[in-house]
Structure formats: structure tokens, C-alpha cells
């Protein structure tokens, strides 16, 4: 992350400057062995957006409990194992993050045992720049830690029963006792109730982050997606005119809309699914009768960085 993130006091833990860390050679493309069968190599939050709409439902136990809140860095999920860094979803080599390996090795030495570190790799200029570095296999961004566990426990593939809070407190202690250099950081964490979680979410949205991950402080660690972790993301709605439709097998497959202006730029957006049969017919009739299409509501998030853009557009209804 660039200075626009590093200068946000209290949101991330500081990193030291300088250092003579050398970038390791590229990694072979191979699957990580061991650890049982799982679609992901790390624990990931379930898809769960927004706070205010769900806050009215106090039947959700977590809204009454104090939970761990941690920033959701807008990057590529990564797993650092001894001597390698791979993508946390498919185990493919994440060569753009290799400059963080020396600092990760120092952090492992502080722990005193082989470790599996989990984090987000983020380029200096946000999400789109991160994807570009991943494609090139070379980068100068940072590995932002959000969890860790012993490598042997990770390799076993079984649930690791040490709680979220205990893991993060140990990670923070070891991180602060290590020389992290320029390419390793840690996402700080807080213990918050539901009201505090909403306030913190608004704070990090305003600062340009994707959002928070709300974590059960007593939960252990498992591979794959877990309801013990929930994404808390900002979602925006805008009215957008339909400019084209795409049919597949006799059904409305996707629509092309004129997106809202973000940073003074409006681009076409492709939205797939989410409408009822009645909505689909209304969209078709609008296109056939006027050629201009109906206005529809599109819900989306924003990427982080100095130049923001729309991500994950979803159909949210037809404008009356």
C-alpha cells in the first residue's frame, strides 16, 4: 500500500524503513502438498455485506457479542509457508510478493518454529495495480499479515483450536519484536461491539479501505470459508440505464448498463443474473420498444487506490 494508506494512524501497524532484503528467485508452479483436501488453503470470510440493514435483526448473536474487527485489505489473498508465498485460493505461485520472504523468515525466527502466515498482498496503488503485478509476476508491494498458525498444524488440515484473539495477540507481539522492513506489515485489530463495529466500518470506508472482517474472537482456525469470519463491506446503489441485453438458451443472461461516474469516468458494466422472470421481461420490453432500455438499480463496491473503480456489480431491481 502507498502513503495514502500508511499514513492512516491507528489503522495499521507501522513498518520500518530501509533494509537490504533481496528478492528470491521465482517459484516453481506446483500444488502445495499435504493438509488434506480443501478448495482454499486458508480461512476466508463468508460473503456478507453491509451493517445497517442487518443491525435490526438482533437475533444474530454476534451483534450482541464483542468481536475482533480487522481491516479487509483490498488485495490478493496469500499464504506464506517456509520458503514460499502462494495464492490462498489455488496454491499457485505468488511471485509478485516474493520480496516479503526475507522479512517473513525473520518473523518465523521470532516465533521459533516453522509457521504458516496468512495475509493480503497489496501493491502501492490499490487493487488494479495489484492484479497487474500478479500477472507480471514482479512487484514492490507489501504482504499485510492478518493471521498465523504453526506450519505443522496447517499441514495436518485439521481445525486449529487456538482462538482468533490468542493467535492475533501472539502475531502482534512477534511482529513488533521483528525487523519487518519495507515489504511486510500487519493489519491491526480491535475488540468491538456491534455499534462500535459500525462506526469503525464507516471510518475505514472513508479512508479508502474495502471494509472490515468481523471475527469470532473465540473461534479456532479452519481451511476454507467460515461463518466465524464475516465481511463488512460498503455497498453503493446507483440508477443505471440498460444499453444492451445478452440472451443465452432463450433466457436473459446478462445486461450491459451505463455505469455511474466514478472519478469523472463512466464505463459500461456487465451485470449477470439476480432478476426475476418478470424483471427480465420488463427489461426485454424496454429494449424492444424504445431501444433505450429501462433504468435499473445496480449495487456495487469500489476498489481501493488513488484511482477507484467499480467492482462486483449486482442487479438490485428496476427503477419505478
pLDDT in tens, 221-232: 998 889 899 988
pLDDT for 46 = 86
Extract the C-alpha cell encoding 103.
522479512
For the domain 3-233, what is the CATH code? 3.30.470.30
Task: Quote the CA–CA distance of 23 and 214 in Å, as a whole number.
Answer: 34
Instruction: Give CA separation, 7 vs 48, 69, 75, 139, 197, in Å.
Output: 28, 20, 18, 21, 22
- Model pTM score: 0.79
Lowest-pLDDT choice from 27-31, 95-99, 130-134: 27-31
pLDDT for 26 = 78
- State the chain's mean pLDDT as an integer: 83
Instruction: Give CA separation, 232 vs 6, 222, 235, 301, in Å.
Output: 21, 20, 10, 11
pLDDT for 165 = 97
**255: which residues sit within 8 A by CB, 6+ positions away?**
242, 244, 245, 246, 270, 271, 283, 293, 296, 315
Judge whether 304 and 209 are in contact, CB under 8 Å: yes
Instruction: Give CA separation, 244 vs 231, 247, 254, 300, 310, in Å.
Output: 32, 10, 9, 19, 19
Going by C-alpha positions, the residue among 53, 317, 1 that lies closest to residue 201 is: 53
Task: Quote the CA–CA distance of 163 and 38 in Å, as a whole number.
Answer: 21
Cα R_g (the chain), whole angstroms: 21
pLDDT for 178 = 94
pLDDT above 50 (res 176): yes
Three-class secondary structure assignment of 305-317: CCCCCEEEEEEEE
Confidence band, pLDDT 50/70/90 cuts, at residue 58: very low
pLDDT for 11 = 53
pLDDT above 50 (res 309): yes
Every domain of the chain with CATH number 3.30.470.30 lies at 3-233
pLDDT for 311 = 81
Highest mean pLDDT among 35-39, 187-191, 262-266: 187-191
Confidence band, pLDDT 50/70/90 cuts, at residue 38: low
Highest mean pLDDT among 21-35, 104-118, 242-256: 104-118
pLDDT for 300 = 87
Task: Count the Cβ atoms, other than its own, within 10 Å of residue 251.
Answer: 9
Highest mean pLDDT among 39-48, 77-86, 109-118, 236-245: 109-118
The single residue listed with the C-alpha cell 493467535 is: 167
Confidence band, pLDDT 50/70/90 cuts, at residue 77: very high
Q: Which residues of 16-44 are buried (b: 16+ CB within 10 A; e: fewer)?
A: eeebebeebeebeeeebeebeeeebbbbb
pLDDT above 80 (res 78): yes
Going by C-alpha positions, the residue among 241, 291, 249, 302 that lies closest to residue 271 is: 241
Confidence band, pLDDT 50/70/90 cuts, at residue 3: very low
Residue 44, strand partner residues? 225
pLDDT for 51 = 54
Extract the C-alpha cell encoding 263.
472519478
Average pLDDT score over residue span 175-196 = 92
Helical H segments across 64-163, by residue range? 101-111, 127-136, 151-156
The dihedral formed by the CA atoms of 256, 257, 261 and 263, expressed in degrees to the nearest 10: -20
pLDDT above 80 (res 215): yes
Query: In sequence order, what E strands does 52-111 have?
Result: 67-72, 76-81, 84-87
Q: Which of the two residues, 128 and 16, has the higher pLDDT score? A: 128
Average pLDDT score over residue span 277-285 = 89
Amino acid at each position: 500500500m502507498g502513503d495514502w494508506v500508511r499514513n492512516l494512524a491507528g489503522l495499521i501497524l507501522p513498518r520500518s524503513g530501509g533494509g537490504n532484503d533481496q528478492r528470491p528467485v521465482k517459484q516453481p508452479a506446483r500444488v502445495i502438498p499435504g493438509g488434506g483436501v480443501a478448495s482454499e488453503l486458508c480461512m476466508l470470510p463468508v460473503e456478507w455485506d453491509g451493517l445497517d440493514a442487518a443491525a435490526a435483526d438482533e437475533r444474530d448473536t454476534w451483534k450482541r457479542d464483542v468481536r475482533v474487527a480487522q481491516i479487509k485489505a483490498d488485495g490478493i489473498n496469500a499464504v506464506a509457508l517456509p520458503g514460499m508465498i502462494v495464492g490462498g485460493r489455488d496454491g499457485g505461485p505468488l511471485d509478485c510478493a516474493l520480496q516479503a520472504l526475507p522479512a517473513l523468515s525473520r518473523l518465523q525466527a521470532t516465533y521459533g518454529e516453522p509457521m504458516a502466515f496468512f495475509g493480503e498482498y497489496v501493491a502501492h496503488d490499490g487493487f488494479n495495480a495489484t492484479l497487474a503485478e500478479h500477472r507480471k509476476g514482479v512487484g514492490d508491494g507489501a504482504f499485510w499479515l492478518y493471521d498465523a498458525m504453526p506450519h505443522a498444524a496447517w499441514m495436518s488440515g485439521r481445525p486449529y483450536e487456538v482462538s482468533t484473539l490468542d493467535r492475533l495477540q501472539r502475531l502482534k507481539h512477534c511482529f513488533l519484536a521483528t525487523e519487518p522492513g519495507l515489504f511486510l506489515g500487519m493489519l491491526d485489530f480491535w475488540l468491538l461491539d456491534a455499534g462500535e463495529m459500525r462506526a469503525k466500518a464507516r471510518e475505514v470506508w472513508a479512508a479508502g479501505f474495502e471494509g472490515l472482517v468481523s471475527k469470532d474472537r473465540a473461534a479456532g482456525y479452519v481451511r476454507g470459508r467460515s461463518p466465524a469470519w464475516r465481511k463488512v463491506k460498503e455497498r453503493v446503489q446507483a440508477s443505471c440505464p440498460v444499453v444492451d441485453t445478452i440472451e443465452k438458451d432463450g433466457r436473459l443472461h446478462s445486461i450491459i448498463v451505463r455505469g455511474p461516474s466514478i472519478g469523472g469516468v463512466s464505463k459500461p458494466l456487465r451485470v449477470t443474473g439476480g432478476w426475476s422472470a418478470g424483471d427480465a421481461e420488463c427489461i426485454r420490453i424496454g429494449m424492444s420498444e424504445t431501444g433505450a432500455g429501462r433504468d435499473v438499480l445496480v449495487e456495487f463496491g469500489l476498489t481501493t487506490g488513488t484511482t477507484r473503480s467499480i467492482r462486483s456489480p449486482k442487479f438490485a431491481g428496476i427503477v419505478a
